[in-house]
Structure formats: structure tokens, C-alpha cells
């Protein structure tokens, strides 16, 4: 069984990583160090275990060379490599684990640990929050980001179909609204005219003649 690290404050993973890059390297990472950076909640202490899990510190809390490397220009790639190493068992199942769905991740975490459903959900959220801040080099030298970034950058209809956008269009999907009008056969000509005048006023902003 694997004891995956998780935090209940996944929203603080990104700001903590930013602090790692901007402040000096501490002699030891612990609760007091977190508090000096503004992470004063009792739940923030769980972030220390996450840093240990991905190799930013050793088991005693001393920053490792990975911590130092993360402060460089290729910090996203360094984080991606650290994630792959920390989550080695997960990547043994899915070599592109950062692109897998939460359901697939949950299945791996559930079968690899004895944790309950709530902890599994937090474990998935922790992994996702880390992966969102990383890049994962591929064999061709390019970099992949996590699934959540891919899904937030959906291509337009023209792009996804491989067709160029129509002249004068922005390339974004258009919305077409079809309106059906059911008029009673017993309606008079005057009533029908009123219906269409009302439509013109509301749809096109036209004033009654």
C-alpha cells in the first residue's frame, strides 16, 4: 500500500509553490516556517507532507536539490519530474496520469491505499493542483500540461473541425436560436400582424409604425 500525501487546502498549493521560488531557502521546513509566510491555519501544516512526497524536502524537512532546481527558469518542468517520481506507482499504471480523469485517478488511489472515500477525493485534488502548476516533457521534446488546462482551452468550432473560420467571423462558435410560432387558425389578420410587430420590437428593437 502507498501512503499518498494529501492536503485539505489544495487552493494554497499554488501560492506556496510561488513562495518556494521567491523567498530564501529555509534551513528546515516546518510549521513555524509556514507561519512566517502567512500560512497560519492549522490545516496548512498538511502542505509540508506534500512537499516531502514530491521530494522538495527529505523526511526531516531539509530542502533537497529539487527545491533549489525549482527556483530556476525551468521550474514547471522540475515540478513535473518531481511529481512523476513522487507518484511513481500512479505513473506505472498511467504514463500520462496528469491527463487522466478524476475517476481513473480515484480508482488507482483506491486500489493502492487503504484510505476512505473522502481521503481519496482529497488525494486526487492534491495531485491535480500540483499537476496544474507543472509541465511534463514528452519524448519529442515538447511539454504537456494537465487535463484541467486542456479542458479550459477549448478550440473554436472552426478550429476543431480543421476548417478555416468564415470571412468576417471571429472563429468562435455561433449560437443560432430557432423560434416557432403557433397561431390559431381562428386568429384574425389584425391579431397576426400584432404578433409579428411585437416580435420585431423585441428581437430587433424596432418601434411600431
Q: For residue range 131-164, what is the model confidence (pLDDT) as tens digits?
A: 999 999 775 555 566 655 444 444 444 444 455 5
| CB neighbour list of residue 165: distance below 8 Å, 6 or more residues apart | 156, 158, 171
Count of other CB atoms within 10 angstroms of residue 78: 21
**Structure confidence at residue 155 (pLDDT):** 45
Count of other CB atoms within 10 angstroms of residue 55: 16
Whole-number Å distance between alpha carbons of 16 and 11? 9
Q: Whole-model pTM?
A: 0.68
9-35 burial, b for 16+ CB within 10 Å, e for fewer? Answer: bbebbeebbebbeeeeebeebeeebbe
Domains in the chain: boundaries: 10-151
**Structure confidence at residue 189 (pLDDT):** 75
pLDDT-flagged residues of the chain (< 50)? 149-161
Amino acid at each position: 500500500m502507498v501512503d499518498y500525501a494529501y492536503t485539505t487546502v489544495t487552493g494554497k498549493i499554488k501560492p506556496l509553490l510561488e513562495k518556494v521560488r521567491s523567498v530564501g531557502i529555509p534551513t528546515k521546513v516546518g510549521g513555524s516556517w509556514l507561519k512566517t509566510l502567512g500560512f497560519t491555519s492549522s490545516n496548512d501544516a498538511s502542505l509540508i507532507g506534500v512537499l516531502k512526497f514530491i521530494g522538495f524536502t527529505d523526511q526531516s524537512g531539509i530542502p533537497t536539490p529539487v527545491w533549489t532546481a525549482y527556483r530556476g527558469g525551468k521550474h514547471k518542468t522540475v515540478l513535473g519530474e518531481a511529481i512523476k517520481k513522487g507518484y511513481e506507482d500512479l505513473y506505472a499504471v498511467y504514463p500520462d496520469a496528469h491527463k487522466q480523469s478524476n475517476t481513473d485517478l480515484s480508482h488507482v488511489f483506491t486500489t493502492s491505499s487503504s484510505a476512505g472515500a473522502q481521503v481519496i477525493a482529497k488525494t486526487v485534488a492534491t495531485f491535480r493542483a500540483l499537476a496544474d502548476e507543472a509541465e511534463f516533457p514528452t519524448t519529442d521534446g515538447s511539454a504537456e500540461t494537465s487535463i484541467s488546462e486542456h479542458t479550459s482551452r477549448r478550440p473554436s468550432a472552426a478550429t476543431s473541425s480543421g476548417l478555416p473560420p468564415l470571412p468576417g467571423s471571429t472563429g468562435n462558435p455561433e449560437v443560432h436560436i430557432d423560434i416557432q410560432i403557433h397561431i390559431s387558425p381562428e386568429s384574425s389578420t389584425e391579431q397576426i400582424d400584432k404578433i409579428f410587430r411585437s416580435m420585431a420590437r423585441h428581437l430587433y428593437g424596432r418601434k411600431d409604425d
